Amino acid sequence: MNTRTLVKNLAALPDGPVTVSGWVETVRDQKKVQFVILRDESGAVQLVNPATRELPEPIEGGEADAAASARLATTESISALAHGTFLTVSGELKHDERVKLGGLEVKIGSLEVVAEANPETPIAADSSLDKRMDWRFLDLRHPKQHLIFRIQTTFEHALRQYWVDNDFIEIHTPKLMASASESRAELFEVDYFEGKAYLAQSPQFFKQMAQPAGFGKVFEIGPAFRADPSFTSRHATEFTSIDAEMSWVDSHEDVMRMHEELLVAAFTAVKEKHGAEILDLFGIELEVPTTPFPRIPLAEAKQIVADRGYVIPRDDADIDPEGERQISAYVKETYGHDFVFLTDWDISLRPFYHMRHPEDSALTNSYDLIYNGVEISTGAQREHRIDVLVEQAKEKGLDPEELEFYLDFFRYGVPPHGGFGMGLARVLMLMLEEHSIRETTYLFRGPTRLLP
């Protein structure tokens, strides 16, 4: 393994010889001295080289000439460095308070060009989002973009740590299915040998399968696919879905309690590990939410929004994106909270497998979680009584025969259960006040984007 020192670890070293590897962020090629800003995955450092622009007049004895030739060659190769070129540099570390970048620099001894960059960099700081997506691997070199994925790593690991600590089992449900898991409308069809398969729109049916299987509590973080032709900042044809499902819930309240504890654990981990960098690069003082998150029944939320003067332009019982922003603003003003559970959704807005209220069969034991004005998750208690489930499927116009494999899960004993699905890129987008999930997705997929 390359014996380089990560840039972030230089500060703790004494002055002396070091080797660093990374890519060229900028070159300042002055007459007498050259500066290179070298970046690696941990930070950036200034490299310095006193320029040797020409060989001295020949003198007796060749040795000095060879050294001078080497210095000239180094100088010339620094002058030729293209932005993005990967280098390994050995030199002398020197702590020096006057150096703005971290108070240290490395005086270049030897320099090895590992892979030259094409000097025509195809994107710039002011390139359009779409253009940046075309060259995502260059876009991701920027410290902000890089931080997003280190935050993602910490966020997901904290979720899993919570689940593992609470005896959840990790599952990987199949993404190839014989039929739709959610809606026929947004389904990708796959040529499957002599027949057809479909891409899972969510792990819904299969995470529920873990309940009659006696797994108790399960989680999965994996891809989900929606053939959704929309081009909003919040939709993708492929996204990372965070899912949990657990047995023996009394209602959606139990699911919400797990959900909020989970988010507190994850936000705490992100703030501890990256809080200072988030403030530095995004200008955001990340807040760890307090529990319990506010809970507002949807009908009440709509009344609050109406009282604030916003008329939701819909004929059904649903709320719209501006309504979500309004109720979020109300919650922030009233409770100082960034999250709110909107509960008790009308059955017309929910899939057949959501359990209905014991007292009011027009409502479901379900919720949406709104974070900073945008829906990030849907959760519910599931209907586990096979006769009721079949009736609800029929009411929604579904053919129970097509759902047979799923309905079988409920015919050989099943505990009451509930869970949620949450979009990873949405949470990160809202946490970092980004404008699109394209920024918080490693490689975005949309109706017209399959590359790179």
Angle at CA of residue 370, ends 180 and 346, nearest 5°: 60
Q: Report how far residue 73's alpha carbon sits from residue 415's, in angstroms, rounded to the nearest whole number.
A: 74
For residues 88 and 300, which CB has a smaller minimum distance to a second copy in the complex? 88
Q: Is 182 annotated as a binding residue?
A: yes
CB of 146 to a second copy, least distance (A): 7
Residue with Cβ nearer a second copy (173 or 366): 173
Q: In Å, what is the CA distance from 367 to each residue of 59, 422, 437? A: 84, 12, 22
Query: Which phi and psi angles does 90 have, rounded to 5°?
Result: -110, 140
> What part of residues 372-401 is at the interface with a second copy (CB under 8 A)?
384-386
What is the Cα–Cα distance from 289 to 295, expressed in whole angstroms? 14
> ∠44-436-43 over CA atoms, to 5°?
5
Closest CA to 98 of 48, 41, 49: 48
Q: Nearer Cβ to a second copy, position 373 or 423?
A: 423
Which is nearest to 99 in space by CA: 42, 33, 17?
Answer: 33
Query: Measuring CA to CA, which residue among 387, 328, 381 is closest to residue 351?
Result: 381
What 3-state DSSP class applies to 50? strand
Interaction with a second copy in 91-150: which residues (CB under 8 A)?
114-118, 121-122, 135-138, 140-141, 146, 149-150
Residue 95 or 449 having the CB closest to a second copy:
449
426 is in an annotated binding site: yes
Helix (H, G, I), strand (E, B) or coil at 428: helix
Which residue stretch of 159-167, 292-300, 325-333, 367-375 sits at the interface with a second copy (rule: CB under 8 A)? 159-167
Spatial contact of 170 and 159, defined as CB atoms under 8 Å apart = no
Q: Which parts of 308-361 fold into alpha helices (H)? A: 321-335
Out of 334, 394, 396, 405, which residue is the one contacting a second copy (CB under 8 A)?
405
How far apart are CB 313 and a second copy at their closest, in Å? 28
Q: Which of 215, 335 has the CB closer to a second copy? A: 215
Amino acid at 29: D
Pick between residue 331 and residue 428 the one whose CB is nearest to a second copy. 428
Contacts to a second copy from residues 220-239, by CB under 8 A: 222-223, 225, 227, 229, 237-238
* Min CB(78)–a second copy separation in Å: 15
Q: Is 259 in the site for a second copy (CB under 8 A)?
A: no
Does the annotation list 375 as a binding residue? yes
Shortest Cβ distance from residue 117 to a second copy (Å)? 4
Restricted to residues 194-213, the positions that interact with a second copy (CB under 8 A) are 197, 199, 206, 209-210, 212-213
The answer to whether 248 contacts a second copy (rule: CB under 8 A) is yes
